[in-house]
Chain A
Amino acid sequence: MFEPLDPILHSQLRLAVVSLLMSVEEAEFTYIKEKTKATAGNLSVQVNKLKDAGYITVEKSFKDNYPLTTCKITQAGVEAFEKYLNALRSYIKPE
């Protein structure tokens, strides 16, 4: 039986962002942008979608007078990612 893939995670950029945030404690917007090679505009849209889904938190502050956006995965995000991985596994190795 195939489990459905979470549509929020099943998108290149959103999956990349969540995978990144799974392996760091928190990351600045610029870090995510550099690692995913996404454009700021597109990344901003996808980050907001993840935030609205409750998968990540986005904190806005300042560093040396420049605006700083810090992203962090939430417990719900971790669970969704694990569920997504399990679903992927069920596609690769059908029982």
Chain B
Amino acid sequence: MTSTRHEPATLDEMAATIRTHRAAGVRLIGAGTKPALVGHAPDPSLQTARIGEILLSSRRLTGIVEYEAAEFTITARAGTPIRALDDALAENGQSLPFDPPFAGATLGGAIAAGLAGPGRVRFGGVRDFVLATTWVDGHGRVLRSGAKVVKNAAGFDLPKLLVGSLGRLGALAEVTLKVLPRPRVQQSARFCFGNFTSAYEGLVRLLQSPLELDGLEMVEDATLLVRLGSPSHASSAPRLARLGRVLGIPPDSIAADDEGATWRAMAACRDLQPEGCETGALIKVALSPRRIPELEAILRSASWARRYSAGGAVAWIAVPAAHYDRARDDASLEALDRHLASLALPALVVRGAHLGEARRRDPRLGHRPGDNLLARIKRVLDPDGVLPPLDCSPTA
């Protein structure tokens, strides 16, 4: 796979790169806006360029552009690592409310992949916090969409459209996010149920209760991991006790020293793919609590590791790699694709370095609601297919 890598340092350079290579009729891969989940050494799964294609990286397009803490908004360039943003926000007692799951990712990658972490259960996902974007479409036009204030109803909501767009509609150069105060005290506990059904019922009970949780994960098959964010230690203890009453079993508290690390591991899916063992495929399924039992039945029979995250809004699935057998790996994914389609659940392959080229170029699995609308949008923003195709219709 011979491809040329371009690393523009400015917005204008980014636009010029797209325009130049567009004129030459060369296809272009927005590497910087694809889910660069493992940071600056891009996951091989993202190296989908064919001979002659250009890889566009936002690696040099970094830095915070505007951040006034009292405004609770932050604007940064797309290549800024999530970790750097988080550090800057932490200094002012703030954080990214959608809890981006992979700290090594870039801002652009996190937005374009549309990935939220366990914390989304409290305040919402990526779509709920993207206020404005500066981006370049397939024509090479520099576009400024949205507004850098927390509320705006002017013009079409292009910033939301770009959430989860995987570099198919444009390359992100700059993003403005709404941020929130970081909870002062966080306390977590495990609730271990004897079986899947009881744990699932517990999850549903918590979702229907007025309890405001900062984290609610269904791990392994019968354990709920719950997080509470409180203004003070004093208010935290009675809330934890109340959780136990709602669930009918006592909490197994997690020590304060381990609390942060436990959730960071969840965010990075270390329970499914331990560090250094990211060889298989990692898949995000957009889910709702009612569908958990159906999906669980399929995953259990396939023996794939899974976790129901963010109160059941997401399932994370790890499909292990069959060593040196790409055909078998692809077959596993195709089986999962069919199952998800039959359940009408949309999904995304987040890691999958070992997969065949077709799957790496089209990381979406299962149900694809609105593809007819998306194809029309693609024809406006990237009519010549300068950016990667949607792979959702023969004409795209």
A and B co-occur in one complex: no
